[in-house]
Amino acid sequence: MTDEPTLFDVAQKIPDSAMNRYFNTTNLPEPELKERELRAGTQNRIILDFFKSHPGQSFTPFEVQRYVNLNNVPITSIRRAMTTLTDLGYLFKTDIKRPGIYNDQNYTWRLKNYI
């Protein structure tokens, strides 16, 4: 047993601004941008909680969308959230692929401390 911090101890130190990352590619004005950042942060947390509750399992973005019941959320937002969580060190992209809803092969992601 070691006293080294776990991924989740370190993650607690990640500021909300990092979890609320939104790519403002359309130059939204400040009030709308803040709302989108909060929405992105909420999606990130929901998806991270899903992965935490399924340690050791890998999922495509389409599977996350279906299992978390985010059918009203565009798949691009699910992918953005999973990329953000990967960049922050929570998830990693595996070499495993599964077909998506269009039968195209999609990579899967997994919680980082479960390889």
Q: What pLDDT does 50 receive?
A: 94
Model pLDDT for residues 24-50, shown as the tens digit of each residue: 455 556 666 455 555 556 788 889 989
Whole-structure pTM value? 0.69
Q: E strands, the chain, where? A: 58-59, 91-99, 105-111
Mean pLDDT of 83-110: 92
Beta bridge partners of 92: 110
What number does CATH give the domain 28-111? 1.10.10.10
pLDDT at 75: 93
9 or 64: whose pLDDT is higher? 64
Each domain of the chain, given as residue ranges in start order, spans 28-111
Residue pair 101/51 in contact by the 8 Å Cβ criterion: no
pLDDT digits (tens, 9 = 90+) for 52-82: 999 999 999 999 999 999 898 899 889 988 9
